[in-house]
Amino acid sequence: MLETINQKVPKITMYGRTDIGLRRENNEDTYVVEPESGFCLVADGMGGAAAGELASGIFAEIAVDIFEEFRGQSEQETLEYVQKTFRLANERILDHVKENPHHKGMGCTAELLAFSNTGFVLGHIGDSRTYRFRNGQLKQLTQDHSLVQDQINQGIITSTEARTHPMRNIILRAVGIKEKVSLDLIRGKTVSGDFFLLCSDGLTDMVDDHDIERILSLHHPLPQKVEELIAIAKSAGGKDNITVVLSEML
């Protein structure tokens, strides 16, 4: 029987998991993997207790609704889907805080990766991160919106010093904090064999890029790589919630 294949939908496999870690009493991280629709995300809530969980959950819910009909559109259309998700999630969180003033300060960092019919579009805000692993080389695609990253950029501190800096958790941008969301948009081409890693800072605060690269280099199935990344973060202390999403271009 002849099957019609939609060449616009890139062939992708995805796997994600979130872990509460070893120090926290609740998990404020959220993730979504939708390989058939061609997008995935990681959101890390802030604001404490139920508020942080709610903020990251709102972002995920908005993304799922918006991308429901998404199937490998053009780069421009994909860009618009990503922008719309951040804009509406920002508005929804701000509206929630107006109605629930005791949740003031809630918000989330977010990574939203969507695959167009020619490449990828990545929306980024906060200190969660997205990496690309290609031909054995790991590349960080995003730059943290944090106080310590600003100090690194100005040459005040080094990357090594930033890992233990007392103000390393101060975020300068997030979804749901200001009326207008300030978003980084990153675009690029994809090739077969590319891996994209989306993660909360619960991974990168505990695990350096060299160890991430080493694990991604292993010839292990996607779920095993995710589990190994979470395990190494927990073995290093697991001070925060740990969320890892891996996408592989087939």
Long-range contacts from 2-6, C-beta under 8 angstroms, 24+ separation = 6/71, 6/72
**Model pTM?**
0.93
In a domain, residue 131? The reply is yes
Which residues is 185 bridged to in the sheet?
123
Q: What pLDDT sits at residue 94? A: 97
Q: Summarize the confidence of residues 230-241 as an average pLDDT.
A: 97
**Does the residue 3 lie in any domain?**
no
* Residue ranges making up the domain that contains 74: 12-249
Contact 244, 30 (CB under 8 A): no
Does the pLDDT value for residue 66 go beyond 50?
Answer: yes
CATH code of 183's domain: 3.60.40.10
**Portion of the chain with pLDDT greater than 90, in percent:** 80
Q: Supply angle C-alpha 196, 199, 202, rounded to 5.
A: 155
97, part of any domain: yes
Tell me the pLDDT tens digit for each residue of 176-233.
999 999 999 999 999 999 999 999 999 999 999 999 999 999 999 999 999 999 999 9
Number of folded domains that form the chain:
1
Is residue 1 situated within a structural domain? no
Cβ neighbour number for residue 48 with a 10 Å cutoff: 13
